[in-house]
């Protein structure tokens, strides 16, 4: 999953391009900073996360601003003997609406083989919209800010790395016992 294939680029574009899909097209009037949490614990999770960051950068009307390092943690609320998770956070500047961005994230999960057989199942790729500008959204499909992000070290530590003003020292201290550690760089080409 090192590079985004042409068919994957087309699928991601069709998920959010009203000219091609005809069903979406609720664009933000001005670019918005959005933060996306990435996680995986099946297959080659670090490679999948690097692929996902490239795919996020390829979304229409979207620019990758930053991506955190990889973080590794033991699974929480999962089956015994589940593999460790790898996590990261990406910062995007986008003109996609929050619902259209969510649709694009779900399409990328699907392309990575994500299945949802039950709650907290191991996964090939999990993409969560953590923050969308300063918006507060509470709908049946989407809640922003993400309702559990402040309870999860695997979200707060990478978020603090790329956007330190978004996470307080107290928030980091509150999750310090969760055993998350930096696992190294996210290997992909940084945006120019």
Supply 13's token pair.
Answer: 């574009």
| 123 a catalytic residue | yes
Phi and psi torsions of 162, nearest 5°: -100, -15
- 12 CB burial (10 A radius; 0-12, 13-18, 19+): buried
6, 84, 119, 123: the catalytic one is 123
126, 138, 148, 174: the catalytic one is 126
| 114 a catalytic residue | yes
17, 100, 128, 166: the catalytic one is 128
114, 116, 148, 174: the catalytic one is 114
Query: How many residues are recorded in the chain?
Result: 192
Question: Angle, nearest 10°, between helix axes 45-57 and 98-111?
Answer: 140
Among 85, 92, 91, smallest CA distance to 70 is for 85
**Cα(24)–Cα(16) distance, integer angstroms:** 6
Residue with tokens 């649709």: 103
Q: Which residues of 125-144 are buried (b: 16+ CB within 10 A; e: fewer)?
A: bbbbbbbbeeeeeeeeebeb
Catalytic residues: 114, 123, 126, 128
């Amino acid at each position: 999953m090192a590079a985004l294939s042409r068919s994957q680029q087309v699928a991601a574009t069709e998920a959010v391009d009203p000219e091609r899909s005809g069903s979406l097209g609720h664009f933000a009037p001005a670019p918005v900073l959005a933060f996306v949490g990435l996680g995986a614990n099946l297959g080659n999770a670090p490679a999948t996360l690097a692929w996902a960051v490239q795919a996020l950068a390829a979304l229409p009307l979207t620019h990758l601003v930053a991506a955190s390092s990889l973080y590794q943690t033991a699974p929480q609320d999962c089956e015994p003997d589940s593999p460790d998770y790898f996590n990261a956070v990406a910062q995007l500047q986008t003109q996609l609406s929050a619902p259209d961005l969510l649709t694009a994230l779900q399409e990328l999960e699907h392309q990575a083989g994500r299945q949802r057989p039950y709650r907290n199942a191991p996964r090939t790729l999990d993409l969560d919209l953590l923050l969308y500008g300063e918006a507060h959204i509470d709908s049946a499909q989407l809640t922003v800010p993400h309702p559990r992000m402040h309870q999860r070290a695997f979200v707060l530590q990478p978020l603090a790395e790329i956007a330190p003003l978004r996470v307080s020292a107290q928030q980091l201290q509150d999750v310090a016992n969760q055993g998350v550690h930096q696992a190294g760089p996210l290997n992909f080409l940084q945006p120019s």
